[in-house]
Structure 1
Amino acid sequence: MGFQPVSHTAIDDHDRTLLTQCRHHDPHSIYGCHPDEQGNFVVRTRQLGAHKVEILVGTKTPKVVECQPIGDDIFVAVIDSPEYQLRVTWSEENTVVVDDPYRFLPTLGELDIHLLREGRHERLWEVLGSRVRTVDGVSGVSFAVWAPNAVGVAVIGDFCGWNPNQFPMRSMGESGIWEIFIPGITAGAVYKYAIHTGEGWRLDKADPVARATEEPPRTGSVVTESSYVWKDSEWMSQRATIDYMSTPMSVYEVHLGSWRQGLGYRELATELVAYVKEMGYTHVEFMPVAEHPFGGSWGYQVSGYYAPTARWGTPDELKLLIDAFHAEGIGVIMDWVPAHFPKDDFALGRFDGQPLYEHPDWRRGEQQDWGTYVFNFGRNEVRNFLVANALYWLEEFHIDGLRVDAVASMLYLDYSRKEGEWLPNEFGGRENLEAVQFLQEMNATVHKNHAGVLTIAEESTSWPGVTTPTDFNGLGFNLKWNMGWMNDTLVYFKLDPIHRSWHHNDITFSLVYAFSENYCLPFSHDEVVHGKGSLWARMPGDAWNKAAGLRTLFAYMYAHPGKKLLFQGQEFGQVLEWSEARSLSWDDMVGWEGEYHETLQQLSKDLNRLYSTSPALHTQDHSPAGFSWVKSDDAANNILAFVRYGLDGEKMLCVFNFGGTSIDNYKFGVPESGNWQCVLNTDAGVYVGTNAILEQNVAAWDTGWDGYDHSITVNIPAMSAQYYRWTEL
Structure 2
Amino acid sequence: MHDKFGNLTGWDLEGFHSGGDTEAWRRLGSHVVTVHDDERGDLTGTRFAVWAPNARRVQVMGDFNWWQGDDMEFVPGTGVWATWKEGVGVGTQYKYKIQHGDGSWQEKVDPYARFADTPPGNASIVWESDYEWGASEQEWLDKRSQTNVYESQMSIYELHLGSWRKGLTYLELAEQLPAYVKWQGYTHVEFMPVMSHPFTGSWGYQVTGYFAPDARLGTPDDFRVLVEALHAEGIGVILDWVPGHFPKDDWALGRFDGTALYEHADPRQGEQPDWGTYVFNFGRNEVKCFLVSNALYWVQQFHADALRVDAVASMLYLDYSRAEGEWVPNKYGGRENLDAIDLLRYVNKHLYARTPGVVMIAEESTSFGGVTKPTNWGGLGFGFKWNMGWMNDSLRYLSLDPIYRQYHHNDMTFAMVYAYSENFILPISHDEVVHGKGSMLNKIPQDDWRKFATLRTFYSFMWSFPGKQLLFMGQEFAERAEWNEQEGLEWWVDSLPGHNGVRQLIRTMNELQAIHPALHQLDCEPEGFRWMNANDAAHNTYSYVRLDRDGEIIACLANFSSEPYPEYSVFLPKAGAWRQILSTDAVEFDGTGLYENVEPVIAVPSETDDPDAWASATVSVPPMGGVWLRYEG
Q: Judge same fold: TM > 0.5, yes or no.
A: yes
* Matches of 1:613 and 1:551, distance apart in 2: 20
Secondary structure of 1:495's counterpart equals: coil
Matched with 2:536 is: 634
Shift of 1:111: 3.5
* Matches of 1:105 and 1:123, distance apart in 2: 19
* Matches of 1:322 and 1:113, distance apart in 2: 32
8 Å CA contact 2:46–2:88 kept in 1: the answer is yes
Q: Flag structure 1 segments of 5+ consecutive residues without an equivalent.
A: 1-81, 83-101
Matched with 2:131 is: 228
Is 1:111 the counterpart of 2:14 in the alignment? no
Shift of 1:103: 5.4
Matched with 1:358 is: 263
* Matches of 2:58 and 2:23, distance apart in 1: 23
1:607 pairs, out of 509, 518, 525, with 509
2:285 maps to amino acid: N
Shift of 1:704: 6.7
Shift of 1:578: 0.1
8 Å CA contact 1:694–1:714 kept in 2: the answer is no
* Matches of 1:302 and 1:648, distance apart in 2: 47
8 Å CA contact 1:704–1:710 kept in 2: the answer is no
Shift of 1:106: 4.6
Matched with 2:79 is: 176
* Matches of 1:649 and 1:124, distance apart in 2: 50
Secondary structure of 1:721's counterpart equals: strand
* Matches of 2:613 and 2:265, distance apart in 1: 62
Shift of 1:107: 2.2
* Matches of 1:148 and 1:203, distance apart in 2: 15
Matched with 1:711 is: 616
Matched with 1:7 is: none
Could you give the per-residue CA deviations for residues 118-144 of structure 1, whole angstroms, max 9, x where no partner exists? Answer: 111111111110011211110110111
2:521 pairs, out of 577, 598, 619, with 619
Q: Could you say which structure has the larger radius of gyration?
A: 1
Matched with 2:25 is: 125
2:23 maps to amino acid: R
* Matches of 2:560 and 2:517, distance apart in 1: 25
* Matches of 1:429 and 1:104, distance apart in 2: 49
* Matches of 1:693 and 1:546, distance apart in 2: 18
Matched with 1:387 is: 292
2:363 pairs, out of 458, 469, 484, with 458
* Matches of 2:147 and 2:584, distance apart in 1: 32
1:434 pairs, out of 339, 343, 346, with 339
Shift of 1:279: 0.5
Shift of 1:670: 1.1
Secondary structure of 1:636's counterpart equals: helix
* Matches of 2:197 and 2:435, distance apart in 1: 20
8 Å CA contact 1:264–1:312 kept in 2: the answer is yes
2:24 maps to amino acid: L
Matched with 2:408 is: 503
Aligned length: 623
2:383 pairs, out of 467, 471, 478, with 478
* Matches of 2:438 and 2:471, distance apart in 1: 15
Is 1:598 the counterpart of 2:500 in the alignment? yes
Could you give the per-residue CA deviations for residues 157-212 of structure 1, whole angstroms, max 9, x where no partner exists? Answer: 01111112xx2111113321111111100110000011111111111000000000
Shift of 1:699: 1.6
* Matches of 1:103 and 1:132, distance apart in 2: 14
Matched with 2:587 is: 685
TM-score (norm 1): 0.84
* Matches of 2:57 and 2:65, distance apart in 1: 17
Secondary structure of 2:121's counterpart equals: coil
Secondary structure of 1:193's counterpart equals: strand
Secondary structure of 1:329's counterpart equals: coil
Shift of 1:109: 3.2
- The answer to which structure, 1 or 2, has the higher relative contact order (CA under 8 A, 6+ apart) is 2
Matched with 1:447 is: 352
8 Å CA contact 1:348–1:357 kept in 2: the answer is yes
Shift of 1:523: 0.1
Is 1:186 the counterpart of 2:89 in the alignment? yes
CA RMSD of aligned residues (A): 1.3
* Matches of 2:3 and 2:472, distance apart in 1: 54
Is 1:588 the counterpart of 2:489 in the alignment? no
Secondary structure of 2:157's counterpart equals: strand
Matched with 1:42 is: none
Secondary structure of 2:147's counterpart equals: coil
**Amino-acid identity (%):** 52
1:644 maps to amino acid: R
Q: Cα 1:103–1:483, aligned 2, differ >3 Å: closer, same or farther?
A: closer
* Matches of 1:708 and 1:460, distance apart in 2: 40
Q: Flag structure 2 segments of 5+ consecutive residues without an equivalent.
A: 37-41
2:208 maps to amino acid: S
* Matches of 1:149 and 1:141, distance apart in 2: 24
Matched with 2:203 is: 298
* Matches of 2:311 and 2:18, distance apart in 1: 27
1:362 maps to amino acid: P
Matched with 1:37 is: none
2:106 maps to amino acid: L
8 Å CA contact 1:678–1:723 kept in 2: the answer is yes
Within 5 Å, which residues of 2 pair with 1:68-147? 104-136=4-36, 137-147=42-52
* Matches of 1:134 and 1:125, distance apart in 2: 18
TM-score (norm 2): 0.97
**Which segment drifts farther, 447-456 or 705-714?**
705-714
Is 1:268 the counterpart of 2:173 in the alignment? yes
